[in-house]
Amino acid sequence: MHIGIIGGGLMGVTLAYYLTQAGEQVTLLEQGPTLGGLNGALAFSDGLAVARYQHAILPNDRAVRKLCSELHIEQEFVMQDAYSGFVHRSKVYALSNISDFLAFPPLSMLDRVRLGRTILQARRRDWRGLDQVPVQKWLEDAGGKTIFNLIWQPLLEAKFDGEYAHIPATYIWAWINRMTSIRRLPQLKGRIGYLRRGHFSLIQALSEAVVKQGGTVKNPVRVREIDISGGRVQQVRTHTGAMQFDAVIAAIATPSFAHLIPGADASYLAQLSQSKYLGLICPVMVLDRPLTSYWTLNLTDPTSPFSTIIETVHPEHESYHIVYLPKYTSPDNDWMGVPDETIREAWLTHLKQLFPDFREEQIKHFAVSRSRYVEPVYATHSSANRLRVQTPYTGLFLANTAQVYPELPTSEATIIHAQQVARQIRSSLNGGSPAVE
């Protein structure tokens, strides 16, 4: 059984790892010059490498930790204190522990109690009742309008590029549950983990294991079309020719997958077109000194071109500080086509207003990453409309983060999903249960 996997991001590489481990013959096709996708690395002219997007491993991310230990890269794992805060009306407020929270000036004492209650309510275990409720309604009912307007609205505006009317309350349930896992009683002080050389070291270790286990990794190979006729997958067309497989798994975002199957039934394409995504523009700077003393600062100012400031020390050069300034956008947002220089100017102008001591001379490197499809946007009633791994075509499967609902589309969720999908597909292809969810 020869299985072709399209996409060498974490999903595709992890699938290749589990399938080759189980003895399957696998060929992985990635369009980029390197593997990794969102977990890729940026290399600057002086050889300095940084993660394209910052990736943290939270204390509850057990699947990532287990995989790292299986691949013998657990020594790459580092834990550190994580200080968080808010930038509200151009002022930085710490929100790193319980005393910061109790002294958070933009909220009255009563609102702080309400905010604490909202967080406790969101941590309730059963998410099912939240799937049909819009996030704004749930947050206003739980904590009141003042907190919504001051805290949640700017965060949702920034995260969803203003389009959060149909986002279900499960989003906040998943987000709060994930973020509160970094805090430990009694002080609620935060700790996060990361891989010393970034998630790219996990991608590298996985792809080496795939090859060791008999798999083949081909890049850059861009798949241009998946030929489906007679109700089954026939072949995969790339820019260099056609390839035949017994089964094909598309480990790519749903809109990219839809483009590859023009021969699919109109009803299936219509179902795929319902799947919405967020894009991302993310400048990254390497500075010769710290910008802030925080791991993350969330901005509530709607005029800011970026929504968050994420800062880490460079793992191999401790005097270098890496600062990410992400902006989530709709995939067709005008900012996507704006030249890097214009983005640099707009972003730095705002940064200098927030940090008057910041000087451009402190920047060692500056780069802008853009991705059209970084995160699926779930709408209310998503649990009933989840895309299946088994497509309507024999031998053709789809595996992506749009299927991990109600969990957030994290690396942890990606690894768990890839493991389940590998098991289900093997069972279906080897004559077991045909019901791949």
- Contacting positions for ligand FAD (CB under 6 A): 6-12, 29-32, 37-39, 53, 55-56, 222-223, 251-252, 256, 280, 282, 326, 374, 400-401, 409-412, 414
The least CB distance from residue 31 to ligand FAD, in Å, is 4
The least CB distance from residue 199 to ligand FAD, in Å, is 7
Considering beta carbons, is residue 112 or 197 the nearer one to ligand FAD? Answer: 197
The least CB distance from residue 147 to ligand FAD, in Å, is 25
Gap between the Cα atoms of 247 and 426, Å rounded: 10
Residue 253 CB partners (closer than 8 Å, separation 6+): 277, 373, 376, 400, 402
Considering beta carbons, is residue 153 or 410 the nearer one to ligand FAD? Answer: 410
The least CB distance from residue 312 to ligand FAD, in Å, is 11
Structure tokens at 105: 């000036």
Structure tokens at 203: 């991608």
Considering beta carbons, is residue 181 or 383 the nearer one to ligand FAD? Answer: 181
Q: Provide the CA 130 distance to its chain's centre, in angstroms.
A: 22
The least CB distance from residue 398 to ligand FAD, in Å, is 11
Considering beta carbons, is residue 168 or 279 the nearer one to ligand FAD? Answer: 279
Considering beta carbons, is residue 287 or 415 the nearer one to ligand FAD? Answer: 415
Backbone angles phi, psi at 361, to 5 degrees: -65, -20
The least CB distance from residue 125 to ligand FAD, in Å, is 21
The least CB distance from residue 37 to ligand FAD, in Å, is 2
Contact 168, 380 (CB under 8 A): yes
Considering beta carbons, is residue 143 or 283 the nearer one to ligand FAD? Answer: 283
Considering beta carbons, is residue 330 or 400 the nearer one to ligand FAD? Answer: 400
Considering beta carbons, is residue 115 or 221 the nearer one to ligand FAD? Answer: 221
The least CB distance from residue 209 to ligand FAD, in Å, is 16
Considering beta carbons, is residue 406 or 409 the nearer one to ligand FAD? Answer: 409
Q: Which of 415, 369, 420 is nearest to 43 (CA)?
A: 369
- The CB-nearest residue to ligand FAD is 9
Cβ of 278: how many Cβ atoms within 10 Å?
21
Considering beta carbons, is residue 154 or 409 the nearer one to ligand FAD? Answer: 409
Q: Which of 393, 403, 394 is nearest to 252 (CA)?
A: 403
Considering beta carbons, is residue 142 or 156 the nearer one to ligand FAD? Answer: 156
The least CB distance from residue 412 to ligand FAD, in Å, is 5
The least CB distance from residue 54 to ligand FAD, in Å, is 6
The least CB distance from residue 381 to ligand FAD, in Å, is 23
Gap between the Cα atoms of 272 and 266, Å rounded: 10
